Structure 1
Amino acid sequence: MTHTDDIQTEEGYTPFSLLILGNGFDKDLGMKTAYRDFAESTFWPFTNLSNKDQGSLACFLNERKEDVNTWFDLEELLAEFAQNINKTIEQAEKDFQDLDKVIKSLKEYLQAQEDEFCKKMDTTMHAKRDTPARNVLQKIIRNKKEYKIYTFNYTNVYRIARKIILEAEGKMFFHIHGSIRDNNIILGTGDQREINPAYFGFYKSANSSYASSNLVEDLAEADEVYIFGHSLGTNDHDYFYDFFQDCIHYHKENNCKRKIRIFTYDVNSELEIKKQLMKLTNKHLIGLYAHCDVKILRTCREYQDSWMLKDDF
């Protein structure tokens, strides 16, 4: 019997809640964890390239980094590079070395960001500052009796959470793509991308550190799903597709709908989220709203008070 079966048949049933975190969570807390921030920092590994680097991953990333009008997403760029490059396995070896350099430098950069955040949280003024990310995390941990928290971020989510709310328990937190704490961050592209076979190692699932998680199963069981700062982008569709397919056909007695809350920054990011939801529901977004209790909540200052000041959202 599933959680969703239990909720309508057993008195006193406790809803099972999931909180899923993306990079927008860390950014909302004040950490500069966007890939663009990393690329423009002193931690960026490719600063002195020569002519012999032409056609390499390092050169490709540097060219894209210099285009300030383009969204700089490392994982999307890895997919684009591996899709369009024509090299043999032997020729690709240098690019895998470049990828290793990126991962090493990214780990060091994010560790510095995490350490700086924790240091700030030890000061009274910063610790009292409320943000949407803190607000959501506190409400989940304090108000939900049965919950799990999954993060797609590499920063140590439990360490961060403990700086925000002391009641946080380590056993409730799970990393999907590794963490800097465990020195196993997984940077790459999703399985659904068609790339040059010589770059098979660019797939996240090909990484030796890639491990199974219960996210897909927990999504299927969840009564309440909260997604904060995750774009639901193509590289992570494998984790969410089954869930949203189930949601558009989901029906329960007594109008007890599955609750879905998606927290995103502003109007533009909300539209991007809806574009992804349109893909994940096979162009049946109306069905998602019809069968579930869905709200997309904006976290920018103009809109955050409309939901942050309430006991629940």
Structure 2
Amino acid sequence: MLNLLWIIGNGFDRNLGLATDYRSFLKNRYFKDGVQNKYRDELVKRVEGFSPERASELWCDLENLLGRASAFYEDDEELFHETFENIQDEFLDYVFRESSRMPVELPQEAVQEFRASISSFYTRLTAVDVLKGLPALMSTSEDVTVHVLVLNYTNTVNRFWDEIGKDQPFGKLIVGTTPKFFYQGTLLHLHGEINDGGTATNIIFGVSDSDQITSPVYSSKVDFQELWVKEKKNYGIYGNTKTAEMSELIAKADSICIYGCSLGESDGYIWRQVADRLSDSACRLYIFDYGLPDRSTVAARAYQKRRRDLARRFYEVANVAAEDEKSISDRFSRLSQLRSLISIHLFN
């Protein structure tokens, strides 16, 4: 049995039409006109340039803010904790309210599109992408187990996953004259999730490593790390084995697809393990980029630059040494737009 691992981030929710990006949270909730918040006002005083106008759409930039702001709160650790616990509560409630806009009954055409995306994404790749990147999944009739590592907090992926799970196997491909079947494996919310009732469970919000906490006072404190370093909170506070489960999923993957992820430093511990898997196996990596220009038009040069920049970004956040980039690149598929998951739009 072959293993296909999808790593899905907030881009999935945004593709559905949900305004769950960082900038929307700041504008529509945290800095909304008429909203009073003493922690926000203090944060603005202490951290120069913190405003919705300067914010990106990426949640990793909020987590980067946490690490950067620590240096400005060395005089009041309790205030730091209260400030970012308040931000966490605010954004979880905001994201839950956005996700509550999802219809009770998912449109069947959207469910079928998700099914095709998860199991047969390679049928929509270019010929070169298929030849270079999918020897394991395409050259044999061996069945495939599909696993999903979810990095966002909503249950939107779960809902689609549950729908296609009503049929097992949920996908089929004919290789030569032999059918290849696709079965569901593990779905893991690495950073916790918000259920239908709005209750948040085992939420992880913070940085990847203690060296991303800019305050030398706090970066060496074990108690501080347990609260704001992702791996340490899952293990030390929640007492779960999610990080180990994530490592196992990556370690046994024959192909890895990254969709809707910002490749932020705050998830560096994940990207390093992906890079390690690429370097010590025949595993292939696909990064699907929503903003990738159409290479078949006059935008070919813009496509080339975007592809190169995104590959460089992966090397940086995965901490790949320059001398190891060549071996990694041999496992790195040409980047493509995935014209399947990104076509599921439930809202304008």
Q: If the length of structure 1 is used for normalisation, what is the TM-score?
A: 0.72
Which residue in 1 is equivalent to 2:52? 66
2:328 corresponds to which of 280, 288, 297:
288
Task: Measure, in 2, the Cα distance between the counterparts of 1:158 and 1:288.
Answer: 31
8 Å CA contact retained: 1:154, 1:179: yes
Shift of 1:60: 5.3
User: 1:147/1:272 Cα in 2 relative to 1: closer, same or farther (>3 Å)?
Assistant: same
Partner of 1:25, secondary structure, is helix
Q: Offset at 1:275?
A: 2.1
Q: Find the counterpart in structure 1 of residue 24 from structure 2.
A: 37
Query: Once the two structures are superposed, what CA deviation does each residue of 1:139-179 show, in whole Å capped at 9, x if it has no partner?
Result: 47xx9631211111111131343357744899721111111
Contact 1:249 1:287 in 2 (8 A): no
Residue of structure 1 in register with 2:152 after alignment: 153
Change (3 A) 1:23 1:274: same
Q: Which sections of structure 1, spanning at least 5 residues, go unmatched?
A: 1-13, 251-256, 309-313
Match of 1:202 among 228, 239, 264: 228
Letter in 1 for 2:229: Y
CA deviations 1:209-241 (Å, max 9, x no partner) are 373221112211111111111123211121231
Distance 1:158 1:194 in 2: 32
C-alpha offsets along residues 19-44 of structure 1, whole Å, 9 cap, x if unaligned? 11111122122222111111111366
> Matches of 1:101 and 1:58 in 2, distance apart?
14
SS in 1 for 2:28: coil
Are 1:275 and 2:301 counterparts? no
CA–CA distance in structure 1, aligned partners of residues 43 and 115 of structure 2: 37
Q: Does 1:261 align with 2:291?
A: no
- SS of the residue aligned with 1:174? strand
Q: What letter matches 2:147 in structure 1?
A: K
Alignment partners' CA distance in 1, 2:145 and 2:189: 18
1:195 partner amino acid: T
Is 1:108 the counterpart of 2:93? The answer is yes
For 1:67, what is the secondary structure of its paired residue? Answer: helix
State the 1:58 CA deviation. 5.8
Q: 1:186 aligns with which of 204, 207, 219?
A: 204
Q: TM-score, normalized by length of structure 2?
A: 0.65
Instruction: Give the superposition deviation at 1:277.
Output: 2.4
CA distance in 2, matches of 1:159, 1:92: 39
Secondary structure of the residue aligned to 1:150 is strand
Identity %: 19
- 1:1-313 aligned at under 5 Å gives the runs 14-42=1-29, 47-49=35-37, 56-57=42-43, 59=45, 63-68=49-54, 73-82=61-70, 84-85=71-72, 87-88=74-75, 91-119=76-104, 122=106, 124=107, 127-128=108-109, 135-137=116-118, 139=120, 145-156=144-155, 157-162=157-162, 166-167=166-167, 172-181=186-195, 182-191=200-209, 192-196=211-215, 197-198=217-218, 200=224, 201-207=227-233, 208-209=237-238, 211-213=240-242, 214-250=245-281, 257-267=282-292, 270-279=307-316, 280=318, 281-283=320-322, 284-290=324-330, 292=331, 294-299=333-338, 304=339
**Distance change in 2, residues 1:80/1:133 (3 Å):** farther
Deviations 1:35-75 (A, max 9, x none): 1111111366893256x976x33655795223346566211
CA–CA separation in structure 1 for the residues paired with 2:69 and 2:307: 28
1:31 and 1:61 mapped to 2: Cα distance?
A: 29
Q: Give the letter aligned to residue 52 of structure 2.
A: E
Distance (whole Å) between structure 1 residues aligned to residue 117 and residue 12 of structure 2: 10
**Letter matched to residue 48 of structure 1:** Q
What is the aligned length?
272
Instruction: Give a deviation string over 1:52-103, Cα, whole Å, max 9, x none.
Output: 976x336557952233465662111111112x32514xx1212211212211
Question: CA–CA distance in 1 between the matches of 2:283 and 2:92?
Answer: 37
1:113 offset after TM fit, Å? Answer: 1.7
| Aligned CA distance change for structure 1 residues 269 and 79 (closer, same or farther; 3 Å) | farther
Q: In 2 relative to 1, CA 108–163 (structure 1 residues): closer, same or farther, beyond 3 Å?
A: farther
| Residues 260 and 111 of structure 1, relative CA distance in 2, 3 Å threshold | same
* Structure 1 residue 135: Cα displacement: 4.7
Q: What does residue 298 of structure 2 align with?
A: none
Deviations 1:286-307 (A, max 9, x none): 32232x26232224xxxx38x9
Please say if residues 22 and 228 of structure 1, whose CA atoms lie closer than 8 Å, have aligned partners that are also in contact.
Answer: yes
Cα distance in 2, alignment partners of residues 47 and 271 from structure 1: 42
The secondary structure found in structure 2 opposite 1:187 is coil
Can you give the 5+ residue segments of structure 2 that lack an aligned partner in the other structure? 122-136, 138-142, 171-182, 293-304, 344-348
SS in 1 for 2:258: strand
Aligned counterparts of 1:244 and 1:226: Cα–Cα separation in 2: 13
Q: Distance in 1 between matches of 2:56 and 2:3?
A: 40
